[in-house]
Amino acid sequence: MTDEFDTDVYYDDDADSSQIDNKTVAVLGYGSQGHAHAQNLDESGVDVIVGLREGSSSRDAAEADGLAVATPKEAASEADIVSVLVPDTVQPAVYEDVRSELDAGDTLQFAHGFNVHYGQIEPAEDVDVTMIAPKSPGHLVRRNYENGEGTPGLLAVYQDATGEAKQEALAYGKAIGCTRAGVVETTFREETETDLFGEQAVLCGGISELIKIGYETLVDAGYSPEMAYFECMNEMKLIVDLMYEGGLGAMWDSVSDTAEYGGLTRGEAIVDDTARENMEEVLEQVQNGEFAREWIAENQAGRPSYRQRRIAEKNHEIEDVGERLRELFAWSEEEQETEPSENDDEKERVTADD
């Protein structure tokens, strides 16, 4: 453990593999995170069963990877640790299916705290409830493990019925490769609320709206859609990669002085105090559960607003321009690596229903 950060960070030396050496882990789901957890655990010598519903399109893939496959309930009945890695929206139903198979002293584990934090899953008091959440898409968790490297992750303990929940979670984190890079201790509340806020205000919602508005501003002013796409969409990756590798400082050091001065003097005029106030409102909706209630109700109603918004986004002009321009790029002709998504089944249903 290191004390150079504001919170505790754990590494391989802090994790005792014997905590799960003689235990069976049921990995429920075989999407983005599920396939990586299951394969990494298996190669670390942990007994793994993948829990998938009858008829799941992932069953053949899991079996081809040499893993035992059963229904979620069957897998949970044989497991000491049940790792719930299906999409948030189906987790409550899956939990109801397996809850009778959780014995006192077993562990219910998650990679995201949404359903526990907002009360959609209420675990029995005699089981441990933990979280090991790699901060990376599943295909990178798997690739890094295979390369002998690690993926940073989060650790949280919601309920410690046995007194050994944290130690067991660290052992799990080590088995999937996270403690090689470092596991940061947090809470279910902090992980859930910061994750939702980041997605909504910056990573997914904020950036996509900024890109579209920038594109529309240039096109409305008479500039070509192609130039607007390059300047507001295509080059975003270049800037984000610089930030990812070295922070804001590395980005400013890498762009031209003209870009730096323009960004420093004009950026705050675009993202001003009004944006800050809007972000605070979004955060409040996350904290008080308003967003969670809205999303749960949306799913219960069959996702009408979600479907409508997805269609509108898909039909935005920038998508058509981008599709045509990307055909010019050399990498578009190469086979691109794709990862299984934990939401693949849901996305397919939405598209088919549309």
Q: What is each CA distance from 243 to 5, 137, 153, 250, in whole angstroms? A: 20, 18, 20, 6
The total of other beta-carbon atoms located within 10 Å of residue 156's CB is 25
Name the residue among 279, 8, 293, 354 with its Cα closest to residue 166. 8
One-letter amino acid for residue 65 of the chain: D
Looking up tokens 């420093």, which residue turns up? 264
- Which of 112, 117, 139, 316 is flagged as catalytic? 112
Catalytic annotation on 316? no
Residue 289 tokens, joined: 């559960």
Give residue 276's Cα distance to chain centre.
Answer: 25
The total of other beta-carbon atoms located within 10 Å of residue 203's CB is 13
Tally the C-alpha atoms within 13 A of residue 217's C-alpha that lie toward its C-beta.
9
Phi then psi for 244, rounded to 5 degrees? -60, -40
Kindly report the CA angle at 208 between 205 and 212, in degrees rounded to 5?
135
Q: What is each CA distance from 112 to 31, 85, 161, in whole angstroms? A: 14, 9, 20
Pairing of strands 107-110, 183-185: unpaired
Distance CA 265, CA 219 (A): 23
Phi then psi for 186, rounded to 5 degrees? -145, -160
Residue 4 tokens, joined: 């150079």
Catalytic site positions: 112
